[in-house]
Amino acid sequence: MALGLGLTLAELQAIYRTQFGVLRDNDLNTWFDRNGRIAFTGSKGLPGIGLARRDFETWQRHRAGEGALPLGFDKRNLEPPFELRDREDDMRIAYEFFAQKLGGRT
């Protein structure tokens, strides 16, 4: 859509940063496991998705070598490592892909 509207990648990313603050905050506080499943999110719109904050922090301490997980702790079968996604980088990849498909406009 950005290409259709004549937006540059920088303009698209600026719109995301300035007009979608809640989405950006949620993106910066949502961790995914190796398979793309949400391990933790601070999003109020996704209650019950991923681990509770306390459990996620316990898991992160365990991953840092600060103790074992309690028996039966991971009922969701999450697979570390946990990582944040970079929506702006994802936008760049998609923008460049579609720009090439549409004749090289970037």
pLDDT of 62 strictly over 90: no
Residue 63 structural domain: 2-101
CA distance 20 to 89: 16
In the chain, the number of structural domains is: 1
Rg of the chain in Å (alpha carbons) = 18
pLDDT of 14 strictly over 80: yes
According to the model, what pLDDT value does residue 61 have? 86
Query: Quick one: what percent of the chain has pLDDT higher than 70?
Result: 97
Place of tokens 């549409």: 102
pTM above 0.85, yes or no: no
Distances (CA, A) of 105 to 10, 92, 96: 13, 13, 8
Is 65 inside any structural domain?
yes
Helix, strand or coil, per DSSP, at residue 21: helix
Is 106 inside any structural domain?
no
Is 88 inside any structural domain?
yes
Who contacts 8 (Cβ-Cβ below 8 Å, separation ≥6)?
106
pLDDT of 8 strictly over 90: yes
Is 64 inside any structural domain?
yes
79-92 core/surface letters (b: 16 or more CB in 10 A; e: else): eeebeeeebeeebb
pLDDT of 105 strictly over 60: no
- Give the pLDDT band of residue 73 (cuts 50, 70, 90): confident
- Give the pLDDT band of residue 75 (cuts 50, 70, 90): confident
